[in-house]
Amino acid sequence: MAQAMASMAGGLQVSGSTRLHGRRVASVTRAGFTVRAQQQQQEQQVSGEAQSSRRTVLSLVAAGLATGSFVQAVLADAKSIKVGPPPPPSGGLPGTLNSDEARDLDLPLKDRFFLQPLSPSEAAQRAKESAKEIVAVKSLIEKKAWPYVQNDLRLRAEYLRFDLNTVIAAKSKDEKKSLKELTGKLYENISNLDHAAKIKSSPEAEKYYAATVSTLNDVLAKLDRFFLQPLSPSEAAQRAKESAKEIVAVKSLIEKKAWPYVQNDLRLRAEYLRFDLNTVIAAKSKDEKKSLKELTGKLYENISNLDHAAKIKSSPEAEKYYAATVSTLNDVLAKLDRFFLQPLSPSEAAQRAKESAKEIVAVKSLIEKKAWPYVQNDLRLRAEYLRFDLNTVIAAKSKDEKKSLKELTGKLYENISNGEKGVK
């Protein structure tokens, strides 16, 4: 019994130990299953990613092949497109006529959107108006109103360019060449003036404004030379007197030191004067031509010196050459009156002599104002009329009357001459 009990206890111990061992083994076996499951999941994920990346690569390859085949198909089917010549400068298509030209609000509504072509003479006239507007930007430069300077300058320059092109197109080959050179300089100076306004530089603006006005005057002189209509000698003499008055009137501009305006008025009127004096001289005899050419040569020289004085802005030089210009101008006008005064009957000549005498007496007010150039101008002009008419009156008198009248008129002319010297 005892042995049987002992053997049973030992069996229980062995089996107990065996079960404990078995538990440990079982627990180890479950951990192994867990690791293997995780490894299998990771392997499945990796294989899935590999499959998806392979699908992406395959799809990209397929897309590339399809695109390449499409491009080849397109290139194979490409056809050339016929392109016509460029459109004309002024548009050329419906609704675009004159599309590159500035607008003109003075025209009727249906025509106002673009500048309309003018005849060469009309274009020259409008170019002069544009030139005046460009010269007028001086006041804006002095006020440093730079945006307004640019606005006015560009607007009027566009008009000017359009009209000058019209004028040049109507000229001969040689005239075109000279005008194109002048206008090229003008546009360059205007461009420089515009840039000076853009950078707001007063010294640069003053510099290029003077250059612009100078070149503008040269261009206007050329225009007047081309488009002045020939007149008869008597009409030319009359217009020359009007030009002379305009030249004398620059005195007020000299006193204000408005040098660009002095140059502008001087050159413009001098061009008219030269044109008309040439017409007058061409109608004269050889001896008369010689004396007039000498006088007009001195006149043009004095005007040129006055223009240069205005260019360098020298008041003393301007005053000096202004006086010389007016003096020579009076001599020329006296010659013109001598050539173109119409003979009258003795009674009519006596009546006109009285009117001339009144004009001479009236210079008293000018003397009081010390307006010496105007004194000289009126004195010489009326004295020339007076001399002409008194000679007509004297020629109709008897010998004794002629002698006494000649003595009186001689004293009169001497006093007028002395008065003129005093004024000078």
Q: Which of 227-241, 312-326, 379-393 has the lowest mean pLDDT?
A: 227-241
Task: Select from 266, 247, 417 the least CA-distant residue to 329.
Answer: 247
Has residue 27 been placed in a domain?
no
pLDDT at 387: 85
pLDDT at 25: 45
Question: Which of 213, 228, 243 is the last residue before a domain boundary?
Answer: 228
Question: Which of 228, 258, 291 is the last residue before a domain boundary?
Answer: 228
Which range marks the domain in which residue 280 is found? 233-338
How many angstroms separate the Cα of 72 from the Cα of each of 58, 64, 66, 349, 378?
A: 21, 12, 10, 106, 95
Domain identity same for 209 and 293: no
pLDDT at 37: 52
Place 339 in a pLDDT band, splitting at 50, 70 and 90: low
Place 95 in a pLDDT band, splitting at 50, 70 and 90: low
Residue 134 CB burial class (10 angstroms; 0-12, 13-18, ≥19): buried
Question: Which of 178, 208, 228 is the last residue before a domain boundary?
Answer: 228
Q: What number of other Cβ atoms are within 10 A of residue 198's Cβ?
A: 14
pLDDT at 189: 93
Place 257 in a pLDDT band, splitting at 50, 70 and 90: confident
Has residue 4 been placed in a domain?
no
Q: Domain count of the chain?
A: 3
Has residue 34 been placed in a domain?
no
User: Is 420 in contact with 412 (CB distance < 8 Å)?
Assistant: no
Domain identity same for 219 and 204: yes
Q: State how far the Cα of 108 lies from the Cα of 130, in Å rounded to an integer.
A: 20
Has residue 76 been placed in a domain?
no
Percent of the chain with pLDDT over 70: 72
Percent of the chain with pLDDT over 90: 16
Domain identity same for 267 and 193: no
Has residue 178 been placed in a domain?
yes
Average pLDDT of the residues of the chain = 77
Q: State how far the Cα of 269 lies from the Cα of 306, in Å rounded to an integer.
A: 13
What's the CATH code of the domain at 246?
A: 1.20.120.290
Domain identity same for 285 and 357: no
Domain identity same for 316 and 364: no
Please give the structure tokens belonging to residue 341: 């005064």
Instruction: Summarize the confidence of residues 339-367 as an average pLDDT.
Output: 83
Instruction: Summarize the confidence of residues 95-120 as an average pLDDT.
Output: 59
Domain identity same for 188 and 201: yes
pLDDT at 281: 86
- The pLDDT of residue 263 is above 70: yes
Q: What number of other Cβ atoms are within 10 A of residue 212's Cβ?
A: 27
Could you tell me how many residues make up the chain? 424
pTM recorded for the entire structure: 0.46
Domain identity same for 315 and 355: no
Q: State how far the Cα of 81 lies from the Cα of 238, in Å rounded to an integer.
A: 68
How many angstroms separate the Cα of 354 from the Cα of each of 116, 162, 377, 418?
A: 55, 54, 19, 21
Q: Which of 246-250, 325-329, 372-376, 404-408 has the lowest mean pLDDT?
A: 372-376
Domain identity same for 219 and 311: no
Q: What number of other Cβ atoms are within 10 A of residue 223's Cβ?
A: 25
Q: What is the pLDDT of residues 52-90, one digit of tens each?
A: 676 777 777 667 666 665 556 555 556 777 777 765 655
Task: Select from 96, 167, 85 the least CA-distant residue to 128.
Answer: 167
Domain identity same for 403 and 332: no
pLDDT at 42: 58
- The pLDDT of residue 40 is above 70: no
Domain identity same for 329 and 358: no
Terminal Cα distance for the chain, rounded: 179
Please give the structure tokens belonging to residue 242: 């009007």
Place 317 in a pLDDT band, splitting at 50, 70 and 90: very high
Q: Which of 19-33, 319-333, 378-392, 410-424 has the lowest mean pLDDT?
A: 19-33
Q: State how far the Cα of 380 lies from the Cα of 357, in Å rounded to an integer.
A: 12
Domain identity same for 161 and 182: yes
Domain identity same for 300 and 386: no
Of 320 and 224, which is predicted with more confidence?
320
Instruction: Summarize the confidence of residues 252-260 as an average pLDDT.
Output: 87
Has residue 326 been placed in a domain?
yes
Q: State how far the Cα of 52 lies from the Cα of 65, in Å rounded to an integer.
A: 20
Q: Which of 113-117, 143-147, 154-158, 295-299 has the lowest mean pLDDT?
A: 113-117
pLDDT at 186: 92
pLDDT at 298: 92
pLDDT at 225: 65
Q: What is the pLDDT of residues 179-197, one digit of tens each?
A: 888 899 999 999 999 999 9
